Amino acid sequence: MPAIQPARLKIQAEALAQKANSPGEFLRALHELLERYADRTYRPGKGGSLAPLLPSYHVPQPVLTQILSALQPFVASDLAAVLALCDVLWVDQNYESRLLAVYLLGEVSVDPPELVLDRFASWARPGTDNRLLDLLIERGLSRMRQEQRERYLEEAAARLKSDNVFFQQLGLKCLEQLVGMQEFEDYPGVTRLLEPLLRTGSTLLRPDMLRLVRALGRKSPKETGFFLRQNLVHKANNLNTAWLIRHSLADYPAETQEYLRAGLRERN
């Protein structure tokens, strides 16, 4: 991997961006550029990282950041062309190509929202690299959360109502990102969607439910504690509530911890 020279990389990225209106040509040039900065010494597990499921050049993040920066004028100019490039990048069986597709999708207009949501539905499928899935929700749907909040919540709800655990996990991840927003206020809307899974959801969903419950607890520990304890009254077919309380208990202030412990004692 050659040392990164910022001025040279900037010129290379700008030359690449000039090809953005021709997705096939852009893709070929992208691979050439990534090849130049590929990390040939990379080994899975190095630095605690996991190997992507797709072939990857393992280029340093500044390379991708510079490419995205160079693409900004293109992103602002032609929505249809940007989406066409996203589609070609996603079809490519390469980790960095798909990563760029996700980043670009998160910057396009969400009016109408279906242009982004249709791609989310098509890309977020079983077998997709987990890190790409997480980034697809975090970055690819970022404008959707900001500008189409109700539509975003509808999409999360639709996945939570699925009988498929994978799609339910997607729904929980979507809610977690929504709750993490500084301006998040729709506490009742999120807990209403989460409540059925607390009682009857698969135990495979527990890690995702726990992350969501912790995110809610950071926003409002007292309200979250009350929500969890209220769900303890459902003693039959209640697979998850007590488990979630026990695994998130240390996150709460002492008063809320005791309130939840009392609920656990009453349930036993």
Q: With bands split at pLDDT 50, 70 and 90, how would you rate the model's confidence at 198?
A: very high
- Residue 31 clears pLDDT 60, i.e. is over it: yes
Mean pLDDT, residues 216-242: 91
| Domain encompassing residue 108 | 1-147
Mean pLDDT, residues 160-187: 96
Residue 89 domain flag: yes
How many domains, in total, are found in the chain? 2
- Residue 2 clears pLDDT 80, i.e. is over it: no
Do both 92 and 196 map to the same domain?
A: no
Residue 243 domain flag: yes
DSSP letters for 146-163: HH-HHHHHHHHHHHHTSS
Residue % of the chain over a pLDDT of 70: 95
Q: How many CB atoms lie within 10 A of CB 256?
A: 20
Per residue in 33-73, pLDDT tens?
999 999 877 665 555 455 567 899 999 999 999 999 999 99
Supply the pLDDT for residue 48: 47
Residue 119 domain flag: yes
Which stretch of 33-47, 162-176, 181-195, 250-264 has the lowest confidence by average pLDDT? 33-47
- Residue 132 clears pLDDT 80, i.e. is over it: yes
Provide the whole-model pTM.
0.91
Do both 201 and 268 map to the same domain?
A: yes
Do both 27 and 133 map to the same domain?
A: yes
- CA 261, CA 258: separation in Å to the nearest integer? 5
- Residue 85 clears pLDDT 90, i.e. is over it: yes
Positions of E strands within the chain: none
Q: How many CB atoms lie within 10 A of CB 229?
A: 20
Supply the pLDDT for residue 52: 61
Cβ–Cβ < 8 Å for 237, 201: no
Do both 184 and 140 map to the same domain?
A: no
